Amino acid sequence: MSGWRLMVIAAALPPLTVALVSVAAVTARLAGNGLWSPEELTLAEAAVTGSLPEIERLIALGAEPNRASRIRGAFMRDGRDRFLTPLSAAELVGRADAAELLRSLGAVESISP
């Protein structure tokens, strides 16, 4: 094979690879699942992000508003994982709207053993 043909093939490989990966990603997305299955947000993570519809949805599905759960570090300013109740998490990051909603849905400041 001549040198110019090898150069053309070598130049075409990166764009072809990107195109194939893009087609695979779009196909997976249209089929209802991405390339990676996303982890479900915990109620505490929804509180940290201030996602009021997600807080309501999770509680409607049975999430306990007074149960501590993991908050992945990606949701925290310092990048560290935490284990907090949803109300504590909302208050920690200053999400007054999420804290108010959680209280209206049964969350309490502290639970006595």
91: nearest Cα among 57, 54, 45, 48: 48
**Segment 61-91, tens digit of pLDDT:** 999 999 999 999 988 889 999 999 999 999 9
44-58 mean pLDDT: 94
Would you place residue 11 in the very low, low, confident or very high pLDDT band (cuts 50, 70, 90)? confident
The model carries a pTM of 0.64
pLDDT of residue 7: 72
Structure tokens at 29: 């997305």
Average pLDDT, the chain: 82
3-state secondary structure at position 76: coil
Residues paired with 82 in a beta bridge: 71
CB 69 within 8 A of CB 98: no
Would you place residue 16 in the very low, low, confident or very high pLDDT band (cuts 50, 70, 90)? low
3-state secondary structure at position 46: helix
